[in-house]
Every structure is written in C-alpha cells, then in structure tokens.
Amino acid sequence: MIYLKTEEEIEIMRMSSLLVCATLSEIATILKPGISGLALDKKAEEFIRDHNAIPAFKGFHGFPASLCISINEQVVHGIPSKEPIKAGDVVSVDCGVCLNGFYGDSAYTFVVGEVSADVLQLLRVTIESLELGIQEAKFGNRVGDISQAIQDHTEGKYGYGVVRELVGHGIGKQLHEPPEIPNFGKKGRGLVLKEGLVIAIEPMINLGTRRVKQLKDGWTMVTQDKKPSAHFEHTVAVRRDGGEKLSDHKIIEKSVKNNIELTKID
C-alpha cells in the first residue's frame, strides 16, 4: 500500500535525511588509509544516538551494523570489518536513521587517495544519473520515467552495468515502503507518481558487468567481474516540477574537500 506523506511529515523526514548526511559528513572527516570499517561504524552510531535518533540499519533483518560499507567491487550491503581501508579504495557508505518516527536514507561513495580516471568518471556519471532520476520524480510521471533516465545515462551513454537485483524504494514510517524504484526500465510504465510520495532513489552502477553475486555472509553484494561499483542515494519528495531532495550531499562534500586523504569528485 502506498503511503502519501503530509507536508508536516515531509519536514520531519527532511530532518531525518539531513541527520543521515551529517553522519556521512562526520565519517568523511576521519576516513583515511588505515582506519577500519568498524571504527567508522562506531563513530556513526555514536553520532546518530547523540542526536536522539536510532541507526536504521542496525538489526534490520539481522544486519549487524549502523552503516553499510562497501569497498571497490562490493556494490552494497557490505558489513563493516576490522580490515584497514587502503589508499586507492573506493568506499561506498550507506546510512539510515529513524528520527521522530520517520526514516531518512542516503549513500555516498568516497575515493580514498588516487584512483584511475575511469573510476572517477564512473562516480561522476552515477551522480549525474541520480540527478536526472530526481528530475523525473514529479507529479503525473511514472516510476519508469525515473528508471529510464538513470539507465539511459549510465548504460546507454557510457556502457556501464546497471544492477538489476537491487533497487530504490519508498520510505517513511518504515525504512522500506512501496513502491520499488528500479534503476532500469521504460518511460510511461509503473506507478503514477503523486505529491506526498517520498522515495529513495539510489543508482548502483558498475564499471563492468551488471551481474552481481552475494557473498557467504548473506549480505555483501559484489560485481561478478570484480570491477568497482558506485552508489549514491537521496531521499526525495515527489513535487509538481520534479523531485525535491530532502537529503543534502553538499554537507558531505564540504568534509570531503577538507580531508586531504580524500579525492573530490568534480
């Protein structure tokens, strides 16, 4: 069942979404070679709870951490570990919180040190596809309009792999609500978008094949060809003239700019 939010509820969700981005910004201040995913996760949980919120992922269907930290060929749902992050790693960090009864969800992919131009282009194009998808999140459009905008830009224009097994989703009083928001599809198909619908749009785009597999931990998804993957996500409210971002990556980008260990994605 589709749950449309009131303006008051959307403002509460904006607070949740901004707290997610503030948490990712905190992570960006300490992300560097040698730090472990577990240390980042501890920092995130403390920050979230200090702001009177609950980490949305911890315990969700049994997930053991507050952050999903997915490195290099890991697409999403990576479990934070004690292994040190290395220079040259591509680190996707996905975070969710519940604040005042409503959820926020956002993801950002960081570059630790220097990587190839091909990888930087993958990240830039994935961000561009997210923005194109958000533009299509407007009243009267359909879910397929969002999906095709993302697919055309990443797969159609650049030949990247668009993951099929994992999709965006509705969000509100639950972390995952209907409808699903695929990153592939055709214009004019799927649910008609109405004002009050809040969705998480999250392209997961691979440098090589779109095919993925799940590791034995039951969570981590990796590319079958071991090539890097990029993941960016916003919580978005459907509006008359396009989607309105309730999350704000500019908060994160400021910390990236100030951390000399990280590469800014221009």
Residue 263 lies in a domain: no
Give, in degrees to the nearest 5, the angle at Cα 72 between 24 and 222.
105
pLDDT tens-place string over residues 50-82: 999 999 999 999 999 999 999 999 999 999 999
**Which residues are CB-neighbours of 251 under 8 A, at least 6 positions away?**
18, 21, 22, 24, 25
Residue 114 lies in a domain: yes
Residue 224 lies in a domain: yes
Residue 104 lies in a domain: yes
Residue 2 lies in a domain: no
If one counts the domains in the chain, the total is 1
Domain with residue 174: its CATH number is 3.90.230.10
pTM of the model: 0.98
Residue 264 lies in a domain: no
pLDDT tens-place string over residues 76-89: 999 999 999 999 99
**Which residues are CB-neighbours of 146 under 8 A, at least 6 positions away?**
133, 134, 136, 137, 181, 185, 201
pLDDT tens-place string over residues 133-174: 999 999 999 999 999 999 999 999 999 999 999 999 999 999
Percentage of the chain surpassing pLDDT 90?
99
Residue 1 lies in a domain: no
Domain limits for position 35:
7-258
CA distances from 225 to 205, 207, 211, 220 (A): 13, 9, 8, 15
Residue 125 lies in a domain: yes
Judged by DSSP in three states, 188 sits in coil
